[in-house]
Each structure stands twice: as C-alpha cells, then as structure tokens.
Homo-oligomer: A and B are copies of this chain.
Amino acid sequence: MKEHDIIRSFVPLLVQNENIVVGPGDDCAAVAVEGCPKLLLTAADQLIENIHYDPADTSPEEMAAKLLKRNLSDIAAMGGSPSFANLTIATKHGSKEFFHRFLKGMADCAKLYNVSVCGGDISSVGSGNDVFTLNINGFVDSDTICLRKNAMEGDYIYVTGLIGNSYRSRHHLNFIPRLEESEFLAGHFTNTMIDVSDGLLADLGRICEASGLAAELDISAIPLRKGATLPSALSDGEDYELLFAVDPELSERLDRQWNFDCRLSRIGQIKSGHKGQISEKESGRVLSGKDSGFDHFQS
C-alpha cells in the first residue's frame, strides 16, 4: 500500500483528544498546551538508507543535516518556529567515527536553526537499511498557522525556489529550509501552505483535496531547476520548497515585498471543480487527481 492510501484508510482509527487542534493530515499536528498562548507543533520524519540518501555518496554530516532540515521544512510549512527535537538511530555502523561525525553534524545543524536535540534512542541493527528518525517540535501563533484546508476559490498558487532534479543536483542534501520565508508569509499573505516533499502535483493535490477544491496549473510558469524535465519535476519531490495559496488582492503586495534570495513564482490558481483535480491552464488537460494517487504525471 502507498503511504497516502494507508493514511487515508487507517489513520482515522487513531482517536484524537481535545487538545489536538490539528491532527494527522498536515505537515505537523498542532497541540493546545495549558496556559501557553501559542500552539505546539509536532511531527516526525525518517531518513532511510537507499531511499532518502545514497550511502556511497552521502557523508554522515549530510545525512544528519538532511534529517533535521526535512523536519524543519514541515515546521516552515505550518508557519511555525522550531524549538526541540528527538533523534533515533537504527544503524549497522558501529564505529566511533560514524557516530561522532553524524552527531557532530546534527549538533552543528541544530545550532544553526536554534533547535535543542534533547532526547532519543540509539540502537544497532545487524543488516538492512539504516533508519534515522527525528521528531521536531515548535510553536506557532493560532492566527498565523497554515493548513492545507484553507485555500479559497480564486487564490493564486505560489511556490518558492526551484522545482525538480533535486536528487541528482544534491539539492535534497543542500537545501535551506524556508523558515524565514515562512515567517514572512504566514498569517500575512497566506494561511494555506505545504512543503513540496512528495512532488509538486501530489502536494498541490493535497491542498486542493483538503480545501475541497481543484486547481489550474500554469505549466510554463513552473521554475525548473537546471537539469529537470517537466514531468519528473512535477512528481519527483524532495524539493522542500513552500507551496501556498494567496488571495489575489494580496498578490501585488507580495510580489513587491518579496525580498529573499530565492525566487517566488506564481504558478496557478485555485478553482472550483472536482476535489483534488489539477488541470493544465493552457489546454485544460487533467494532470492529476484523486484517482491517480498523485503518483505520476499523467500524459
């Protein structure tokens, strides 16, 4: 079964108590904490050998940084700031050097983003793929929080940075999580955001599905990374860019005030129509929708 299908089928079995303001289905859950004026954001993500990195071509420092940064990207997608984290390691590596380099790499990256890695677990596995996990926690104002379900018909769809060819270009290791851009955007220009981790079409599909709407994509406006082809750029994922919906009335001001190194591109519009369906603006051709599982660019 695919992750999306599992989540859709079985995650509803999990009962959420009243303090869970946002449950499974966004990039983080949001928890109301007694007395705290903010919401606590919490999430967990994995880094698996041969899936999320090539062991022959990735240093322990790069592995650690990727694991933390892909979790930070989830905090950014919610409009939040990171605070503390738990780390687990299940590895075949027994060497002092590996642990020193991995944990030093984690420590350096955590310091850069002001995250305390305050707990976790380390275990050795005999064989198979190494599995590293990180649980990230942060905070967000309740009027700043960004969810997938908040898109409105007519909203413009924006994306930060470049899309595609992430793996071969090593962007998936070298990316900078969009925390500063998120702080600028969240609550001011948008309350509808996701990070592009599973592919632009899949992740836009999730915004549309959660919002009960469809979208039109201006294919020619998608900012491709060098070496990327359009079909794979739309489905590859691991871009760790912010994908968000903006009220057209705020669009001009957003374009004017955007003052970050990374590019900002308007790539489409939220439309009424089949829930979750994404069409090409020019031709009207359906690119992806509920039934495709969002797995492939459909031609």
Give the Cβ gap from A281 to chain B, nearest Cβ, in Å.
Answer: 33
A165 at the interface (CB under 8 A from B): no
A254 at the interface (CB under 8 A from B): no
Question: Would you call B3 and A119 a contact (CB within 8 A)?
Answer: no
Question: Would you call A126 and B96 a contact (CB within 8 A)?
Answer: no
Contact with B along A256-276 (1 / 0, CB 8 A): 000000000000000000000
Query: For residue A96, which residues in chain B have a CB less than 8 angstroms away from its CB?
Result: 1, 9
Query: For residue A219, which residues in chain B have a CB less than 8 angstroms away from its CB?
Result: none
Residue of B nearest to A90 (CB): B131
Of A17, A24, A118, most buried by chain B (CB within 10 Å of CB) is A118
Contact A20/B87 with A95-B1, A121-B46, A133-B44 known, Cβ cut-off 8 Å: no
Question: Would you call B42 and A86 a contact (CB within 8 A)?
Answer: yes
Contact check: which of B14, B23, B45, B120 meets A121 at CB < 8 Å?
B45
Contact A118/B10 with A3-B123, A42-B86, A42-B137 known, Cβ cut-off 8 Å: no
Question: Would you call A118 and B1 a contact (CB within 8 A)?
Answer: no
Question: Would you call B3 and A111 a contact (CB within 8 A)?
Answer: no
Contact with B along A102-125 (1 / 0, CB 8 A): 011011001100101111111101
Contact check: which of B10, B20, B90, B104 meets A116 at CB < 8 Å?
B20
Some 13 contacts from A to B, beta carbons below 8 A apart, are: A10-B103, A15-B111, A15-B116, A23-B118, A24-B117, A29-B84, A31-B84, A31-B137, A34-B38, A48-B123, A125-B128, A125-B129, A131-B131
Report the 8 A-B pairs with minimum CB-CB distance, sorted nearest first: A128-B128, A29-B118, A135-B135, A44-B86, A131-B131, A35-B35, A10-B103, A13-B107
Kindly list 7 other residue pairs between chains A and B, CB separation below 8 angstroms, not including A3-B123, A128-B128: A14-B107, A24-B118, A40-B40, A44-B87, A45-B88, A86-B135, A88-B133
